[in-house]
Amino acid sequence: MTFRAPVRDLAFALKVAGFDELTAKHFPELDADTAAAVLEAAGAFTTDVLAPLNRVGDQQGASFADGQVTAAPGFAEAYRAFAEQGWNSLSAEPEHGGQGLPKAMELAVFEMVHAANMAFGLCPMLTQAAIEALALHGTERQKRLVLPRLVSGEWTGTMNLTEPQAGSDLAALTTRAEPDGNGGYRLFGQKIFITWGDHDATDNVCHLVLARLPDAPPGVKGISLFLAPKFLVNEDGSLGERNGLAPASIEHKLGIHASPTCVMVFEGARAELVGELNQGLAHMFVMMNAARLQVGVEGVGIAERAFQQALAYAQDRRQGRSPWSGEAAPIYDHPDIRRALMLMKAKIEAARGICLTTGVLADLGRLAEDPARRAGAKARQELLTPIAKAWSTDVGVEVASMGVQIHGGMGFIEETGAAQHYRDARIAPIYEGTNGIQAMDLVGRKLSMAEGSVMDELCAEMAMTAEALTERRDLVEAGRRLAEGVRALEAATDWLLSHRGADSLAGATPYLKLAGDVIGGFVLARQALAAGESDEAWLQAKPALLRHYAAHVLAGAPGLAAAVTAGAEELEAISAEALSA
């Protein structure tokens, strides 16, 4: 099935997210025509270059032999074209060789990249995270010699956190860093699940590695961040000898077969400190937060790809009779199929809007001239980031699963490609802190910011939008459903703020889903209002999608609020023996 980059929907979602106001004030050179040209060019590249490689990447994947990783067929050439055309440098600062475009624009471009070829997109995505970490915490040498080459795409970057005994609990990591007596360090240890940890698409791979010094404090307070390149970097920027690190193997995975997931071994690898000693976790969180929003965009991208294929199949596959015409018809004319497709499309639009809104807020949090506006944007960005990551990636899995279902038995057959989208999508809820961890972060840290006022202000804004919907006869019921959802979210928020410990943790995941469902409805409401009563079919769909979402998603908000407030008593009482066969 041919992929079509959703340029039109992305441009509309950016506009509703506040992109025009952002660019008019802070990026005056990025007028509407220029922004449209960027999206169109990215759409052409992802459609013509990346999408055709998606299937062969899944079938053949990356390979490992003699201590070297080779990218899937065509991927190295595609990556070099990606870098040469400047797609790797969109939002990086011009002083480091970047184009200085908004983060929101980069997210829109990367949604198309992930939709076309998620396994490919993981490589530059992690490089973006490394760029942000070095731009903020790197030494002058690192900014002079390494950062520009990451920005240009000449080299790629990775995150090295996880170890066999230390997954999400980084306090348990044992990789050690020993001073080499010359101002540098030597790294010893093993890291696992390192995405694009080695490959042949670029001359160098720059690893950002968490490790601890021998005399460091125990736990997370003793973790430092180090830069260890595959090839050492000379003072003139040229490459020196091979460093003491290498992939030991690549994993055999459920999906994303073209993305090499490496076991990396450090045997005295030379490394430089990034930032301050024993502040490595805080420094790495710059990468983590950047990657979390990008992973949310991954969820949107893979959902878009799965939806496009399901819609095309539903229009082509003929079976049964239409209840509307009474004639033999494609399955698109069956109400249950059309219901599923509308729900898929609505959730994609909602997740896309959440992610792009978070991107606009990230830009405003850096650039807004008024300190209060800057602080408010940053706070809302922090609140939305775990929702953007977790809710959007859950949407990716759900939509991909529905895509398989719409294909029926053919969806379970690999030749159709629907199964690949489902397999690829399944990693995103696990990446960069599992969705359960995102939920715990939301209820444990983000809700309590400014004594709960950040969520309060968002709920007040959503309630106003719900009221605005009731002024349109065709959206009265959707407005009522959104208002009910906001009230459910407010009640659940108040309960969580007054309950800590196990009770709040037990309600964290249903709370994040509730928040995502309601905020997603808010996004669709704003889009429906912005679409007006246009004669264009695609704009007429916006109010229809809101109404469908309100009936099938927002209607469940009170039930989710009940799950949030159920508490942990039942969980504490149940034993593993009671649950076992």
Q: Three-state DSSP class for 69?
A: strand
295 vs 416: CA distance, rounded Å: 25
Could you tell me the maximum CA-CA distance found in the chain, to the nearest angstrom?
Answer: 83
Own/partner pairs, 217-223, CB within 8 angstroms, 24+ separation: 217/278, 218/171, 219/171, 220/170, 220/171, 220/281, 221/278, 222/278, 223/170, 223/173, 223/278, 223/280, 223/281
Phi-psi region of 137 (alpha: psi -120 to 50; beta: other; left: phi over 0): alpha
Strands 176-179 and 224-229: unpaired
431 vs 436: CA distance, rounded Å: 11
Q: Three-state DSSP class for 276?
A: coil
φ, ψ dihedrals at 279, nearest 5°: -115, 20
513 vs 510: CA distance, rounded Å: 5
Of all helices (H) and strands (E), which one includes residue 324?
none
390 vs 294: CA distance, rounded Å: 11
11 vs 390: CA distance, rounded Å: 23
Closest by Cα among 340, 344, 347 to 408:
340
Are residues 520 and 353 in contact, defined by beta-carbon separation less than 8 angstroms?
yes
544 vs 560: CA distance, rounded Å: 24
Are residues 388 and 446 in contact, defined by beta-carbon separation less than 8 angstroms?
no
Of all helices (H) and strands (E), which one includes residue 291?
helix 280-316
Task: Name every residue whose Cβ is closer than 8 Å to that of residue 45 and which is 6 or more positions away in sequence.
Answer: 81, 82, 85, 87
Which structure tokens are listed for 518? 């309601």
Helices (H) and strands (E) in the chain, counts: 22, 13
Q: Three-state DSSP class for 203?
A: coil
Buried residues in 119-142 as b, exposed as e (16+ CB within 10 A): bbbbbbbbbbbbbbbbbebbeeeb
Burial of residue 66 (CB within 10 Å: 0-12, 13-18, 19+) is exposed
Known catalytic residues are 432
Phi-psi region of 438 (alpha: psi -120 to 50; beta: other; left: phi over 0): alpha
